[in-house]
Amino acid sequence: MKRRAFITLLGGASAWPLAARAQQPTMPVIGYFSGRSADTEEPIRRPFLKALEELGFAAGRNVEIEYRFSQGQDARLPALAAELISRKVTILVATDRPSASAAKAATATIPIVFTSGFDPVQFGLVASFNRPGGNATGVSILTTALGPKRLGLCVNYCQNQAPLPFWSTQIPA
């Protein structure tokens, strides 16, 4: 009887590593996609990866990143979004208007983070600036709508002041 108990215990102990491995949480997956090419996207992708690292996330160590680029062929974006969704990504990062629109059309449940210079309300990504609702959020610099207002503020400020410095960050379109 002792022999049978020992064999049972030994069999159970050998299964523990398998059970422990099966219970470990899976690594979160970020779906990063754009209507641009990978080369054109590099000036945006590099700071994105650096910011992730500053927050404690390192690609391949504790987060996985799936990249998809349509190479300027916006008609491919819905298929790329569907591909990322089927990969069960945790979040979608869309870096231009076409990819953000494709992501929004593809899912209502996976969070979408977008960046761009367009009005997200006008393009249907969010309901309003005050209460965006839904699963999309992001940063929009609204260069078209706010550009003239910014220039007007500069003119008003500069009328009685010394010249105001001007700077620009350029990111390839």
pLDDT by residue, tens only, the chain of 173 residues = 455 544 444 444 445 555 445 555 588 999 999 999 999 999 989 998 999 899 999 998 999 999 999 999 999 999 999 999 999 999 999 999 999 999 999 999 999 998 877 788 888 888 887 788 888 888 777 666 666 776 777 677 666 655 555 555 555 55
- pLDDT, residue 68, reads 96
- pLDDT, residue 78, reads 96
* Separation of alpha carbons 127 and 80, rounded Å: 25
* Separation of alpha carbons 9 and 29, rounded Å: 38
- pLDDT, residue 160, reads 64
- pLDDT, residue 30, reads 93
- pLDDT, residue 166, reads 55
- pLDDT, residue 90, reads 93
- pLDDT, residue 153, reads 73
* Separation of alpha carbons 128 and 142, rounded Å: 14
* Separation of alpha carbons 138 and 95, rounded Å: 10
